[in-house]
Structures are given as structure tokens and as C-alpha cells.
């Protein structure tokens, strides 16, 4: 959309993303099992919201509106009414208008987009946050909850694990059309874990992954689908993490920055955003993310940028093959050439276009409603040199995010410029 005002990301905060294989996650093999419990949805959201105030120095009283991304709180946590839940985080938020946004895995991106819309409509300081807890049930039951983001009537029965099967189908078609191998796709996974190993917030920060392990199925990396046609095209290592976590950011106009006493040099500017939505159900070409491509093209046009201008990107790698498709949809690689980009290391931290520098959904983690907010915060942190061991060598000028819901049915893309 065309912006009426200049809009800035002031900063924010996030929780550690946790789940199975994270050292702090309490499960039956953890020494504190039965003694401690994992954080609740409300506790995570509260931590991120108050952390954003602490990190930015913004008084909660200054927040005029708030937007919360969450996909399935009612199913995983028996909790809806997220706006009213969020304002419990701080007494100074009581009475302020907070609203929930839901668009499957793009819920967080929609929360940020709603914040931008509110600023364009006349507000000066808003908050966008997202949170999800998914570890409260079995993997199979959780897969059923997440399947609500598909077209339930026609797609639920593709497999017990609906979305893994849907993206295994994309992997199958992509490999067959372009001659891409499992090893090619595995380069994405290895990069993700390598980055996450440097990231203290990452779900899989303590788990290492090499190319041989990521490329080959085995007892520790099984092909778990029941759909026999699709089973060979997806392994556990190809999947994003079932994570619990939250993130929150503060957005402001120029007038808002003046009210807050924040210098522009401490912010990044939002140049453009676009949302594209396609009907649930079958797609014409499983090797193309058409919806994401549409959103990205609009963002590039409105921001006055080309794909080659982007210095850092956060993309929706819900499965390893999805990152390759994202490279192509965002214009970083020609059709069928995404695997080549990954294989040559161009999307690594020291590559020509660093992508998912903190580990992406594959290894940073994927608490669904938080992901789109986390993506924006990661661009901010890279631009302000706050990423520590996974900081890219040269300070980026332009950044891009692409947060996708469902099987490329809802996409929110955004472009950013560092303010120096």
C-alpha cells in the first residue's frame, strides 16, 4: 500500500524460542520434569511485550493501539481473546485498544501490517506482537490443529501431517521439474542450524547438523509421512520446529518519534508492505509461490527497489524446500536456480544475500503467531548491529521480510531501510 506518512521500527524484544531439543524445555527426559513447567502463552506474551518497553525505553503509556498475531490459542492453550490477554502484561496498557490478527502462519506479519495501517490512519505509536504455544499436545494432534490453515474439506486427509505432506508435494514436483536433489535441499537445513548455533534465542541452538545427516533419511531423521507417494520427499530435518515463543515490536511515525524522544538513527524505516491472499485449495504449479511473488513484486515497486538491492532477508522457511521457492519468488534466483544459490553459500551470513541469519523457522524456531513479528525484529537487529555472533559482516542498507500463511495462501512482504 502507498504510505501517507513515514513509518519506523523503534525496536522490540523476543523470548527464547523453545521446544523439544532446547536445553530449557521441560519434557519427560528433562531433570526438572515434574518440578517445573514450561512458560504459558500469556507468560511468553507478557515477557515479549514488557521486554520491548525495556529495550526501547518507550513508556507503555505512549502506546495508542496494539495488534497481536496468534493462530490457534484456543486449540493449543484453551485461550482466545488475545487483545484482552495482551493488555494484562502491563497496567499502563489497560483500556487501550488491542486487537488479534489471524492468518495462519502469517498472523504475526498481519499484526505488523495492521500496525502500519493504524499509523497511516493517524496514530503515532503502536505495538505489534505475536505469540504461540504448540507443545501442549502430541505432534499428531498438533498437526491436526495446524491443518485448520488448509482447506479442511479437501486437503486434511492428504496425510495425518497435513502441511508436511503438502510441502512434500511441492518438493516432489520441484525435484522432478528441475533435477534438484535431496542434498541440494539439505544445504538450506545445514545453513539454518549453523546460524542457529550462534543464536542464543534459537530453539535448536545446541543441535548441530551436517550435510550427510540432513540429506539422508535414517533412524534419527525418518521419513514420517503415511502418504506413500509423498513420504520419500520429506524428512524430519526438512521441517520447521514446533516452538513456543513470542515477539513484540514498537512502530512509530515521525511525530511519534518526537513524542518518544527517539532519534531516527536508532530506527529503521518501513518503506513498503503488501499482503496477497489466494483461495484455499489446490494450486496451479507446486514449484512456484505465486502468492508470495505477487506480494514481493508490489513491495519492490512501491519501495523503488530491485531484488539485487536487498542486503538481508527473513523468509518463511516452514520447510527446507520452501526457502528455495522463496528465493525464486522474491527474485533472488531464477526459477529452478534457488538450490544453486544455497549450494554456493550465497545466502549464508557471509554470502551476497544473507537469508534467515538467526536460523529461520527451521532452526530459530516457529511459534506460529510470533514468526512474522520476529522476522521484522531480526531485520532491525541486523541493521543496528545487535546480532552478536551471527551479525553479517557489512551493515545492511535494505532488508526484506516474507511471512507466509498456509500453502502460500496469505503472504505479508515488507521492505525496510536502515536509518543512519
Which residues are catalytically annotated? Answer: 105, 366
Distance, CA of 293 to CA of 331 (rounded, Å): 8
Distance, CA of 124 to CA of 254 (rounded, Å): 8
Interstrand relation of 398-405 and 410-418 (parallel, antiparallel or unpaired): antiparallel
20, three cell numbers: 523439544
Residue appearing with cell numbers 523503488: 304
Residue appearing with cell numbers 474439506: 153
DSSP code, position 221: B
Q: 3-state DSSP call for residue 87?
A: helix
Cβ atoms of 273 and 411 closer than 8 Å: no
CA 416, distance to chain mean position in Å, is 16
Distance, CA of 205 to CA of 199 (rounded, Å): 6
Neighbour count for residue 317 (Cβ, 10 Å)? 29
What kind and span of H or E run contains 183?
A: helix 182-196
Residue 151 to residues 50, 52, 104, 123, Cα–Cα distance (Å)? 37, 36, 12, 36
Residue appearing with cell numbers 534467515: 356
Cβ atoms of 274 and 293 closer than 8 Å: no
Sheet bearing 98-101, strands edge to edge: 98-101, 65-69, 125-132, 245-253, 7-14, 268-277, 410-418, 398-405, 312-315
Amino acid at each position: 500500500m502507498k504510505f501517507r506518512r513515514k513509518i519506523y521500527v523503534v525496536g522490540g524484544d523476543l523470548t527464547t524460542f523453545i521446544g523439544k531439543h532446547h536445553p530449557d524445555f521441560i519434557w519427560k527426559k528433562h531433570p526438572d520434569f515434574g518440578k517445573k513447567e514450561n512458560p504459558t502463552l500469556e507468560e511468553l506474551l507478557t515477557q515479549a511485550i514488557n521486554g520491548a518497553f525495556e529495550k526501547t525505553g518507550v513508556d507503555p503509556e505512549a502506546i495508542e493501539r496494539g495488534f497481536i498475531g496468534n493462530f490457534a490459542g484456543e486449540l493449543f492453550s484453551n485461550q482466545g481473546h488475545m487483545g484482552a490477554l495482551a493488555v494484562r502484561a502491563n497496567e499502563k496498557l489497560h483500556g487501550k485498544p488491542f486487537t488479534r490478527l489471524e492468518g495462519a502462519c502469517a498472523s504475526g506479519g498481519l499484526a505488523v501490517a495492521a500496525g502500519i495501517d493504524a499509523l497511516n490512519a493517524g496514530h503515532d505509536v503502536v505495538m505489534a506482537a505475536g505469540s504461540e504455544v504448540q507443545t501442549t499436545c502430541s505432534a499428531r494432534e498438533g498437526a491436526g490443529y495446524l491443518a485448520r490453515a488448509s482447506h479442511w474439506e479437501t486437503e486434511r486427509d492428504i496425510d495425518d501431517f497435513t502441511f508436511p505432506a503438502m510441502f512434500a508435494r511441492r518438493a516432489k514436483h520441484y525435484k522432478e521439474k528441475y533435477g534438484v536433489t535431496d542434498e541440494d535441499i539439505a544445504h538450506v537445513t545445514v545453513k539454518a542450524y549453523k546460524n542457529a548455533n550462534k543464536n542464543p534465542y534459537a530453539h535448536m541452538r545446541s543441535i548441530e547438523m551436517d550435510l550427510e545427516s540432513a540429506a539422508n533419511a535414517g533412524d534419527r531423521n525418518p521419513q514420517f509421512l503415511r502418504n506413500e507417494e509423498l513420504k520419500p520427499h520429506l524428512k524430519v530435518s526438512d521441517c520447521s520446529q514446533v516452538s513456543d515463543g513470542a515477539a513484540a515490536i514498537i512502530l512509530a511515525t515521525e511525530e511519534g518519534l518526537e513524542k518518544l524522544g527517539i532519534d531516527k538513527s536508532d530506527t529503521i524505516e518501513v518503506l513498503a508492505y503488501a499482503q496477497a491472499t489466494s483461495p484455499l485449495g489446490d494450486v496451479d504449479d507446486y514449484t512456484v509461490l505465486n502468492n508470495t511473488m505477487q506480494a514481493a513484486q508490489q513491495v519492490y515497486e512501491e519501495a523503488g527497489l530491485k531484488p539485487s538491492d536487498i542486503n538481508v532477508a527473513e523468509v518463511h522457511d516452514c520447510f527446507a524446500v520452501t526457502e528455495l521457492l522463496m528465493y525464486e519468488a522474491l527474485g533472488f534466483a531464477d526459477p529452478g536456480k534457488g538450490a544453486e544459490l544455497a549450494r554456493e553459500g550465497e545466502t549464508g551470513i557471509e554470502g551476497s544475500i544473507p537469508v534467515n541469519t538467526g536460523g529461520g523457522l527451521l532452526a530459530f524456531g516457529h511459534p506460529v503467531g510470533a514468526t512474522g513479528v520476529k522476522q521484522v525484529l531480526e531485520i532491525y537487529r541486523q541493521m543496528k548491529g545487535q546480532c552478536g555472533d551471527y551479525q553479517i559482516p557489512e551493515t545492511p542498507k535494505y532488508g526484506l521480510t516474507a511471512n507466509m500463511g498456509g500453502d502460500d495462501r496469505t503472504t505479508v512482504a515488507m521492505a525496510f531501510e536502515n536509518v543512519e
